[in-house]
Amino acid sequence: MRNTKRISLFTLVLLLSVFTLGAGDTDRYNKLGHQFMCVCGCNQILIECNHVGCSYSTKMLAELREGVGRGDSDQVIFAAFTEKYGKTVLAAPTTEGFNLVAWIMPFTVFAAATLLVVFVVRKWAHRPQPATGLPSAPELDAFRQRARKETDF
């Protein structure tokens, strides 16, 4: 009886560890799958490619599953995918070299555009008011008198 309890406890611990390890691999697989693009031309994240029978995503997902199953590090998997499919397979540019511009440029352009808008609005607010070109009230009365006199009205 005592032996049966030990065996059942051992089996329970073994099953829990297998499920826990599998869950970690699944989370890592999903995380990495969202960091790659499908190269079939659909411009979708690899794990979300919805083309029926897409040969690229099926093959790439199998390679990813295999790498995660072997226990390869994220860097090794990234290097393998980049070497095989090129840098276009990455969903986000790297933060090194010229790719750093892809991270910095949107913020720089936004800041420059904001400054330009502030400059233009201030220029418009402080511009001189245009002259209306209308005569003043005494001049207008003089014109009315002259018009009445010339038209005999």
Tell me, what's the pLDDT at 23? 47
Predicted structure pTM score:
0.50
Question: Is residue 18 within 8 Å of residue 60, measured between CB atoms?
Answer: no
What's the chain's average pLDDT?
Answer: 81
Lowest-confidence segment of 11-15, 29-33, 84-88, 136-140 by average pLDDT: 11-15
pLDDT in tens, 81-105: 989 988 888 888 777 777 788 888 9
Instruction: Give me the phi and psi of 136, to 5 degrees please.
Output: -75, 175
Question: The tokens 């970690």 sit on which residue?
Answer: 24
